[in-house]
Amino acid sequence: MALTPNDVADLARLARIELTPGELAHLAPQLDAILEAVARVSEVAAADIPPTSHPLPLANVFRADVVRPSLPREAVLAGAPAAEDDRFRVPRILGEDA
Amino acid sequence: MSDVRTTDDLTRATAADLASAIASGDVSSVEVTQAHLDRMAAVEPAVHAFLHVDGERALAAAAEVDAARSAGQALGPLAGVPVALKDVLTYAGAPTTAGSKVLQGWVPPYDATVTRRMLDAGLVILGKTNLDEFAMGSSTENSAYGPTHNPWDLDRIPGGSGGGSAAALAAFEAPLAIGTDTGGSIRQPASVTGTVGIKPTYGGTSRYGLVALASSLDQPGPCARTVLDAALLHAVIAGHDPLDSTSVDAPVPDVVSAARSGDVRGLKVGIVRELGGEGYAPGVEQRFREAVDVLTDLGAEIVEVSCPSFTYALPAYYLILPSEASSNLAKFDGMRFGLRAGDDGGHDAEEVMGLTREAGFGAEVKRRIILGTYALSSGYYEAYYGQAQKVRTLVTRDFEAAFAQVDVLVSPSTPTTAFRLGEKVDDPLAMYLNDLCTIPSNLAGNASASFPVGLAPEDGLPVGLQVMAPPLADDRLYRVGAALERALEERWGGPLLARAPELVLRPELVEGGPQ
C-alpha cells in the first residue's frame, strides 16, 4: 500500500486541511500502519452479506408541517467569526484566477 | 439510607442519599452544591476534570430547588443534586468546546435535550468536563486544553474520551456525570477510574445538541459512583425525543427497579470467548473471573459463547468512525461559528477553510478525517467502507445468535488498567486497542455498561466488567451491576472508591480555608 506524503497531501486537500511538510511526513507512515490494520475487513468473504449503515431499522421520520419558533438572529450571529448587516461575513468565494 | 449529615463530607454521599436529604430538608441543595464547588476548587489543579466551572448558575439553580421545596412543591427524584456535563453537549450560556481549539469560546444558543431534561428535573449543572477532542481518544490526552489525571494515580490516564466525567466522579467533585459513548467513551473511563458507566441502547437517549462524532454510533449516557445513581440519572435523560430522528419511540426500560432489585437468579450469562486471552492484563482477567464466580454464587447460569466476528469489529470501527467523522466535521469550516484563521483579505473562502482546520484541529482529528476521506474515496469505497458495513452486519448477527442463548454477555471492559500519561499518545494503533471490548456494542447498537469489580493485584488500579444486553433491555445491565455491587462491596467492606488515595488538597483554594 505505502501511503506517501504526497498521497496524504492530496487527501488533506480533499478534506480542506492545510498540512505542513513536517505533518505530512509524520502522518504518512502512521496512516499507512492504520490502513494496513483495518484492511483486515477484506478477509471477511462477504458477497452475500448486506451492509449495515445504522443500528436501527430506520424509516423516514416525519413531523407535522407547522411553524415553530426559530433561534433569534442575534443568538445565531453571536457565535459567528464575523458578521455584518445581520448576515455571516465570509471571505471572497472566488479565487484570483476565477 | 445513610444520613448524609453524619458522613464526613457531602461530596462522598450518593446521589440517591443527597436527593432524599434535600427533599426532606436535612440539607439544602445550596449546601450540597457549595460543598462540590469547594471540592472542585481544592482538587481541580491536580485532576483537571473540568473545562468550565459554572458556579454562579449552579448555586442559583440550587437555590431555586430549595425555594421550591420550601413552597411545598413536589421535587423530582434527583432534584437539587449536582451533575457534571461532558463538554460535547450544549448548555446555553456556557461554552461548548468539544475539547477542540476550533470551538474555543463558542457559546451555544440552545440546550441539548439531555441538558434540558436534567434542568427540568432540578439537577444542578456544575460545569463542563474535559474530553479528547471531538471525543476521539481513550485517554483525554487529545484534548486541546490538556489532559485529565486519574484520581487513583495522577500520572495515569482517566480513560477517554469521557475522562473528565469519570475523573470528576472518582475525585468526588460530582456525584453524577453525563458521558457520550461512540466506541467506549463512557465504559472505558468508568473501568479505569472504578466508577459506573452505561451506554444505553442506541436511540434510547437523544443526540440533539450533541456535537456529532459518528452519528450512527454516538450515544449519551449516565455516569455515577453507584449502580442506583446511574439508573436514576438514566431515567431522567432517556426517552423519545422528536428533535432526534433516530430516537426510539418506545418506553424507557425500568432501570431504577432493576438497580434496586439486583436479582440475577436464573439469569443466563454468556462469557464472550473472543474478548480475553492474549493482550489482557493478568489482574484484569483475574478480577473478571472472580466477578463471574460471584454471579454464579448468586444463582446466575454461566456459559461460554463465541462471537467470531468480534475480532473484525475494531478494524471495521476504524473505517466507519473516520468516514462518518470526516463528514460530520466538515461543518467546522470557519464560516458560521468557531475559529476562523487566515481571513486577511488575501485568502479566499476555501483557503481560509484549510487554514482554519489546520489551526483548529489536533493531530488525532486530522488523522481520522484524512483516514475517513481515504476510506470514502472512489476506488477504495467498496474495499474499505463497504466491507466495514458488512462486518457490522456480521457483528450484529453474532449478538443476535448469542442473545438467543443467553440474557446478557460479559467481558472485561478494557484489556488493561489505566496506563501512564504519554505512553501511547503518538501510537494510534496501540491507543485504539483500548476499545477492543466496547466497540461491538456500538456497531450493533445494543445496551452496554461497565461496573467496577476490584483492583488489579499487580498495580492496585481499578478493573471494570462489561455487561452487554440486547437492544432496549438496558434494565438487565442494572440488574447484573447491582448484584455485583452488593456482593463485592460486602466483600470489600465498602465501596471500591473508598480505597482510592486521598488527593493532596490545597486548602488555600478552599473558600474559608481549613477548618
Look at residue B109 in the predicted model and tell me its pLDDT: 95
Report how far apart, in Å, the C-alpha atoms of B488 and of each of A77, B192, B492 are: 53, 17, 6
Q: Examine the pLDDT at B5 and tell me if it is beyond 70.
A: no
Task: Find the domain containing A33 and state its range.
Answer: 5-43
**Type and span of the H or E element at B268:** strand B268-272
Q: Residue B220 in contact with residue B210, Cβ under 8 Å?
A: yes
Q: Is A22 within the bounds of a domain? A: yes
Q: Which three cell numbers stand for residue B255?
A: 432501570
Q: Is A53 within the bounds of a domain? A: no
* B148: amino acid identity, one letter: T
Give the whole-angstrom CA distance, residue B361 versus residue B99.
Answer: 10
Q: Is A19 within the bounds of a domain? A: yes
Stretch B382-404: mean pLDDT: 96
Stretch B202-230: mean pLDDT: 98
Chain B within 8 Å of A25 (Cβ-Cβ)? Answer: no
Give the whole-angstrom CA distance, residue A16 versus residue B358.
Answer: 9
Look at residue A1 in the predicted model and tell me its pLDDT: 58
Q: Residue B52 in contact with residue B103, Cβ under 8 Å?
A: no
Name the residue in chain A with its Cα closest to that of B365. A17
Say which CATH topology domain B10-312+390-501 has.
Answer: Amidase signature (AS) enzymes (3.90.1300)
Task: For residue A2, name the pLDDT band (cuts at 50, 70, 90).
Answer: confident
Stretch A36-49: mean pLDDT: 89
CA dihedral B108, B114, B119, B125 (to 10 degrees): -70
Q: Examine the pLDDT at B76 and tell me if it is beyond 80.
A: yes
CA dihedral B485, B262, B179, B213 (to 10 degrees): 120
> How confident is the model over B234-278, as pLDDT tens digits?
999 999 999 999 999 999 999 999 999 999 999 999 999 999 999
Closest by CA position to B314, among listed B433, B457, B234: B433
Closest by CA position to B370, among listed A40, A3, A8: A8
Stretch B58-86: mean pLDDT: 97
Number of Cβ atoms within 10 Å of the Cβ of B386: 15
A21-38 and B313-328 helices cross at what angle (nearest 10)?
140
User: Which of the residues B328, B370, B429, B472 would you substitute to probe the A interface, choosing the one with the greatest number of A C-beta atoms within 10 Å?
Assistant: B370
Q: Which residue has the higher pLDDT, A63 or B122?
A: B122
Number of Cβ atoms within 10 Å of the Cβ of B437: 30
Beta pairing, strands B220-224 & B462-469: unpaired
Give the whole-angstrom CA distance, residue B185 versus residue B88.
Answer: 12
**Type and span of the H or E element at B124:** strand B124-129
Closest by CA position to B465, among listed B166, B234, B191, B259: B191
Active site residue B86: yes
Contacts of A15 in chain B (CB under 8 A): 326, 357, 369-370, 373
Task: For residue A89, name the pLDDT band (cuts at 50, 70, 90).
Answer: very high
Q: Residue B273 in contact with residue B305, Cβ under 8 Å?
A: yes
Inter-chain touch B396–A31, beta carbons under 8 Å: no
Q: Which residue has the higher pLDDT, B139 or B512?
A: B139
Look at residue B513 in the predicted model and tell me its pLDDT: 41
Q: Residue B275 in contact with residue B436, Cβ under 8 Å?
A: yes
Averaged pLDDT score across all residues of chain B = 95
Stretch B293-318: mean pLDDT: 97
Contacts of A37 in chain B (CB under 8 A): 315, 318, 429
Least confident among A50-64, B92-106, B213-227: A50-64
From the candidates B86, B101, B199, B424, which is the catalytic residue? B86
Q: Examine the pLDDT at B6 and tell me if it is beyond 60.
A: no
Give the whole-angstrom CA distance, residue A4 versus residue A10.
Answer: 10
Q: Residue B159 in contact with residue B406, Cβ under 8 Å?
A: no
Task: For residue B505, name the pLDDT band (cuts at 50, 70, 90).
Answer: low
Look at residue B283 in the predicted model and tell me its pLDDT: 98
B29-47 and B15-24 helices cross at what angle (nearest 10)?
150
Count Cα atoms within 13 angstroms, Cβ side, for B468. 29
Task: For residue B169, name the pLDDT band (cuts at 50, 70, 90).
Answer: very high
- Count of structural domains within chain A: 1
Percent of chain B past pLDDT 90, that is, above it, reads: 94
Q: Residue B157 in contact with residue B141, Cβ under 8 Å?
A: yes
Contacts of B399 in chain A (CB under 8 A): none
Contacts of A65 in chain B (CB under 8 A): none
ipTM of the complex in this document: 0.94
Q: Residue B42 in contact with residue B506, Cβ under 8 Å?
A: yes
Nearest CB to B348; choose among A37, A54, A93: A93
Percent of chain B past pLDDT 70, that is, above it, reads: 96
Q: What pTM value is reported for the model?
A: 0.96
> How confident is the model over A49-84, as pLDDT tens digits?
999 988 887 778 888 899 999 999 999 999 999 999
Closest by CA position to B478, among listed B456, B450, B445: B450
Look at residue B306 in the predicted model and tell me its pLDDT: 98
Give the whole-angstrom CA distance, residue B171 versus residue B483.
Answer: 25
Beta-bridge partners for B238: B205
Look at residue B409 in the predicted model and tell me its pLDDT: 98
Q: Is A27 within the bounds of a domain? A: yes
Look at residue B412 in the predicted model and tell me its pLDDT: 98
Could you give the strand order of the β-sheet that contains B301-305, starting from the edge strand earlier in sequence?
B50-53, B124-129, B82-86, B176-180, B220-224, B196-199, B447-455, B462-469, B408-412, B268-272, B301-305
Q: Which three cell numbers stand for residue B429?
A: 494503533
Q: Which three cell numbers stand for residue A16?
A: 480542506
